[in-house]
Chains A and B, each alone.
Chain A
């Protein structure tokens, strides 16, 4: 991380315990300390149930940590904010609104003037290759196109940070690659800070400035691995030797903690 860059997001000893209505409380995250610099892409990998979505929900202000402190641009982060854009695993479009209206939903919620954002929405749709679908309805689009609309909706407010929770997880491999490349391009263009959750080690390395590897539940940060691959990156980088080394390292860290976990359970 560039030491001159101030952290856009800071997590200081953050823990999250879900208080279930019935049964025992679930400790999802333990003592997470993490800084995300402005313009940086951080990917989160870890076994299922280790609290990646929880961490993203905390960053999005959807949940509050049970312990610890969260700062957004130096200020206490206490709830949802238009400075944060979220892309979910499902596109979660509103089927009764056409593409451009879906992109404008955050603006309507904020009760801001629509006209300037309408232009912005059109620009974003062009960037995402959807310019001719502005008036289409979600059911007329493929899954990949719907997720692009989801991305445009997250970008419409020019967020300082983009949170993405396995945004391409529901898509087929080819669409997934296309969108990953597109995301790289969007990052080149807007330099948005991105926190990206994925199950794919390749995806995590290709996108990241730093890969945050998490341990099985309760989730901790196992290791943070800086990825020194030059940008702009393309899918071709996946075949390079250095890429293979990074991916191997991530795999090794994951395996090590998974092994620990299995020993502990057994």
Chain B
């Protein structure tokens, strides 16, 4: 009796598990299937154009050659090394931007005097095309990684700052008044109300800032570098090794997509209440 149970229970469980697995696979296929189909069609079109029109490979290499360049670059470790350099620049710059933007947003929104003094400056600085500063930053911080990290941080900083300020100020008047009625200090109101209320804006800002970070790192490497994916793009295209250029682009978009979905996933976890029919937390 007990032996039978021991046999049947796990097998039934295993069956339902594999059944669920099949359903999950089915859902996955129906979700990403159309996209994969499109990718195959585009790649086939690319290959066809290159062959039919006899495009020289230093103009546009066929997709298979890009794949080969990617595989070779990764196995030899060259692309891995350069990817790591750029990734470090992006993450360090991004991290610095988060740190500075958070502190400055907190200070600016805390004291009205400081806000009135600094907001016009922030708006003015935001209007400067930050990439234009990359050459300057190179002369200030040298050919090493520092100038790239600074450029990256500078580009990521502003969208984050603007979003954080808007977010902190998004806490509605009624809830602010409720905290006042509880006798909350400014700091308590900031910590318990304004900061959490800013989180949706913060994550929206993170996504924009991430894109800017990657642009920052690549542009800074273009201006002058000895390593990194931007450096690789320049090197390979000067050498007419366009397959490698494309391989680098593939890596860059993979980095961008991975980090963006990571932020999206984290954002959905943290800001779980967003868009769920509450009386508005933001004044808008």
Contact = CB atoms under 8 A, between A and B. Distances in A.
B183 A138 contact: no
Interface stretch (B19-27, B63-71, B211-219, B276-284): B276-284
Interface of A: 60-62, 79-82, 84, 86, 88, 90-96, 105-106, 108-110, 137-139, 146, 170
Contacts of B178: 86, 88, 92
A139 B273 contact: yes
Given A80-B182, A90-B174, 6 more contacts: A86-B181, A88-B178, A90-B279, A96-B196, A108-B192, A139-B273
Interface of B: 174-175, 177-184, 188, 192-193, 196, 199, 272-273, 276-279, 281
Contact of B183 (A82, A93, A94, A95): A82
A16 B193 CA distance: 29
B180 A92 contact: no
5 contacts: A90-B174, A90-B279, A96-B273, A109-B182, A138-B278
B196 A81 contact: no
B183 A60 contact: no
A79 B276 contact: no
Contact of A109 (B177, B183, B272, B276): B183
Chain B interface helix/strand/loop/mixed: helix
A214 to B, nearest CB: 22
Contacts of A80: 180-183
B181 A95 contact: no
A60 B193 contact: no
A95 B281 contact: yes
| Chain A CB within 10 Å, residue with most, of B177, B273, B276, B278 | B278
B192 A139 contact: no
Contact of B181 (A62, A90, A108, A137): A62
B192 A105 contact: yes
A92 B199 CA distance: 18
Contact of A93 (B182, B196, B199, B278): B278
B128 to A, nearest CB: 33
Contact of A81 (B174, B177, B183, B188): B183
Given A86-B178, A94-B193, A110 B183 contact: yes
A26 B278 CA distance: 32
A105 B180 CA distance: 12
A61 B181 CA distance: 7
B177 A106 contact: no
A137 B274 CA distance: 12
Contact of B273 (A84, A90, A137): A137
A110 B184 CA distance: 8
Contacts of B192: 94, 105, 108-109
Contacts of A109: 179, 182-184, 188, 192
| Chain A CB within 10 Å, residue with most, of B181, B277, B279, B281 | B181
A81 to B, nearest CB: 7
A117 to B, nearest CB: 14
Contacts of A92: 174-175, 178, 279
